[in-house]
Amino acid sequence: MPKKVMVGLEIHIQLGGRKLFCNCSTESSSETGNTIDRKLIATTGESGKYDPAAVYEKSRARSFRYSVTDNSCLLEADEEPPHGINQNALRKAVSMSLALNCKVVDRVAYMRKIVIDGSNTSGFQRTAIIGFNGYVETSKGKVGISSICLEEDSCRKIEELDGMVLYSLDRLGVPLMEIATDPDIVDGEHAVETAEIIGKKLLLAGWARKAPDAIRQDVNFSMGFGRVEIKGVPKLSTIKSAISYEKERQTWLGELSPALKGTDWGRLKFQDVTKLFVNTRSNVIAQNMKSGFKVYGTVLPGLAGCLKSDKYRMGRELADVAKLFGSGGIMHSDELPGYGVEGEVPKLIELLKPGNGDGFTIIVSTPKVIGLIEDSMKSRLRKLESLDLPETRVVSDDGSTHFLRPLPGGERMYPETDIPSIVVDNSLLEAARKDMPKTEEELVRGIISAYGISRQDATVIITSGKVESLRRYDEMLQNSRLAARLILQAIPELEKKAGQSISDQEIYPLLEEAGRRKWDRQILEKAMDLHFIEKMSMGDLLKSSHLKPIEGEELKRMIMELNKEEAVSQKNIVPMIRSRTSRPFNPTEAIALVKAITG
């Protein structure tokens, strides 16, 4: 009988400004060159028990290196206590709780969640519930909002190599609002709709950082075998495919489970088979052996035909485990001979002696972790056999999901003693109500009235979450039309030419100078090109002759010289001048001069 599918979402939004518990900016422009090294250990939570996810991460025996950035301090290094909560971020979390029909807590009390995957230098993450028991209306009924939390974001992972994980501190401590729904979502389409409704409220509020991962989603999925948390769903379109994949995966596991009952997983024992691969034709194996790795093989009891077939993919489940310990994956009997492993297969069968119905696998690894891989594979197979499926998984771009670690539980929580509880009084609630996200139409009318721009431009700025940028740009430039042009045209074109995202914090110094020096559009956009494309420093930029506009008599002389070479007209004068000089000029003035010169 088909199992009922239950789906919930966790939507995370990074808030801009300053970090949650220190005065560091949420934006970074560089690394300092300094690093911090850590080894993290599991500790018990308030219940006195160890969290299974923390125990699993400890078994991986990794070490962590953190790249110190210009927006990190001793707090991110875990060398001093938190400074006090970011009141602006707290107010926004209360505002969003009210906007999503939640009850707001009377007192905000922070807890620590034990996290030892290296994503936090301290080994824990600070988090607090702000609102609960809310809802949003969808085409398929109400979807409950179980909680809205305000927490610290984690470090940004850069790379992992040989048991060492490199993280950046630029993202650690950024205020992160987490909106979790009840499991009221009925299918993939409904999940996308719900995410869009909540996401639009966040975008209309204009609070999100301008960063690729400023808004991201996790999916909670269950069809009767326990909750699976799918982490890091990068875009809305992937939500649907991830749910579809997980439903298919759990369906075939449910069908396969009875055939695996009573299997002796103790027969899964890796042994060194490197000697069989001395003359291997597999480039992958040969290269790894040159680097000092060994080849290990084992029987996979009862898994012949289940490792990679039209229906079952147990090989992928085991490969996920191997990869988490630094291996590139596995090669197994359902796909061998292949991948350059041909002549070794008969020798492997002779050495490993698989029985009827048994599969076998080989893996390239180091002696240091092969025992850990073996234990983890046995543990995982026992869970899959008994359909004990609660776990945390990560999603790939194609929507497929992969084992990451056991699902964390309440054992990871314990009180935060460095942050006093915060009373949510009437003044905070009143300020939060004033900040509540308006409807799109209310915002459009307000933007048109305040900045004198078109409805179309106002709509694009609002739906792209750039209202705060418009306000700050206009404040510095005292020119709302120029501020809108920067957001809608100039900066996107600049980012395309530069091949990089440009944050508001990076553009602010130029806008401040533009406002102070009364630069027009041409000079400002030329300055942006020099700074971001040609990498000219601010000091050199302000002294550069490239920013001196061609105007008045100088512009008239240039037009007359050009006219001697080729007849100028009101249509061709602008491109002709631009082909001759990189200095800024006013096209309207140039066209007027041509009209006066040519009659």
331, 444: one domain: no
**What is the full DSSP assignment across 437-475?**
PPPHHHHHHHHHHHH---HHHHHHHHHTT-HHHHHHHHH
Assess if residue 420 is contained within a domain: no
163, 275: one domain: no
Between helices 573-580 and 552-565, what is the axis angle to 10°?
Answer: 100
pLDDT in tens, 128-145: 999 999 999 999 999 999
CATH number for the domain spanning 297: value is: 3.30.1360.30
Residue 36 has phi, psi (to 5 degrees) of: -125, 135
Which residue type does 396 have?
S
Q: Are 467 and 447 in contact (CB under 8 A)?
A: yes
Mean pLDDT of the chain: 91
**What is the full DSSP assignment across 538-597?**
HHHHHH-GGGSPB-HHHHHHHHHHHHHHS---TTTHHHHHHHH--S-B-HHHHHHHHHHH
Report percent pLDDT > 70 for the chain.
99
The whole-number pLDDT of residue 520 equals 81
CA–CA dist 231, 393 (Å, integer): 6
CA–CA dist 301, 306 (Å, integer): 11
pTM score > 0.75 for this model?
yes
Assess if residue 235 is contained within a domain: no
156, 292: one domain: no
The residue among 385, 418, 450 that closes a domain is 385
SS (H, E, C) 274-300: HHHHCCCCCHHHHHHHHCCCEEEEEEE
The whole-number pLDDT of residue 250 equals 95
DSSP helix, strand, coil percent of the chain (3-state; round to 5): 40, 25, 35
Assess if residue 363 is contained within a domain: yes
Assess if residue 502 is contained within a domain: yes
204, 326: one domain: no
CA distances from 52 to 42, 319, 320, 407 (A): 10, 21, 18, 7
The whole-number pLDDT of residue 402 equals 94
> Tokens standing for 90?
């707290």
Report the residue count for the chain. Answer: 599
75, 29: one domain: yes
- Determine how many CB atoms are found less than 10 A away from the CB of residue 97: 28
522, 558: one domain: no
Assess if residue 278 is contained within a domain: yes
477, 331: one domain: no
Residue 542 has phi, psi (to 5 degrees) of: -70, -20
In the structure, what pLDDT confidence band is assigned to residue 329 with cuts at 50, 70 and 90?
Answer: confident
483, 450: one domain: yes
Q: Are 584 and 549 in contact (CB under 8 A)?
A: yes
Residue 135 β-bridge partners: 144
Assess if residue 232 is contained within a domain: no
CA distances from 31 to 71, 72, 186, 499 (A): 9, 10, 45, 19
Looking at the structure of the chain, the number of domains it has is 4
Q: How many Å is the Cα radius of gyration of the chain?
A: 30
In the structure, what pLDDT confidence band is assigned to residue 547 with cuts at 50, 70 and 90?
Answer: confident
The residue among 352, 385, 418 that closes a domain is 385
pLDDT in tens, 209-223: 877 678 889 999 999
Determine the 3-state secondary structure of 272 from DSSP: strand
502, 577: one domain: no
DSSP label of 408: P
In the structure, what pLDDT confidence band is assigned to residue 568 with cuts at 50, 70 and 90?
Answer: confident
In the structure, what pLDDT confidence band is assigned to residue 578 with cuts at 50, 70 and 90?
Answer: confident
Question: Does residue 2 or residue 82 have the better pLDDT?
Answer: 82
Cα 92 off chain centre by: 21
Residues 6+ apart with CB under 8 A from 450: 480
Per-position b or e across 457-485, b if 16+ CB within 10 A of its CB: bbbebbeebbbbbbbebbebbebbebbbb
Whether residue 245 has pLDDT greater than 70:
yes
In the structure, what pLDDT confidence band is assigned to residue 2 with cuts at 50, 70 and 90?
Answer: low
The whole-number pLDDT of residue 31 equals 83
Q: Side by side, which strands form the sheet with 31-38?
A: 31-38, 63-69, 164-168, 156-161
374, 446: one domain: no
Residues 6+ apart with CB under 8 A from 374: 268, 269, 270, 298
Whether residue 256 has pLDDT greater than 80:
yes
Assess if residue 584 is contained within a domain: yes
Report percent pLDDT > 90 for the chain.
66
Assess if residue 541 is contained within a domain: no
> Tokens standing for 6?
């239950």
Domain hosting 167: range is 6-227
Residues 6+ apart with CB under 8 A from 353: 299
CA–CA dist 362, 569 (Å, integer): 75
3-12, 61-70, 352-361, 554-563: least confident range: 554-563
DSSP label of 489: I
Q: Are 165 and 144 in contact (CB under 8 A)?
A: no
In the structure, what pLDDT confidence band is assigned to residue 599 with cuts at 50, 70 and 90?
Answer: low
Residue 304 has phi, psi (to 5 degrees) of: -60, 130
26, 136: one domain: yes
521, 557: one domain: no
pLDDT in tens, 430-486: 999 998 888 888 889 999 999 999 999 999 988 887 888 898 999 999 999 999 999
CA–CA dist 522, 584 (Å, integer): 5
The whole-number pLDDT of residue 1 equals 43
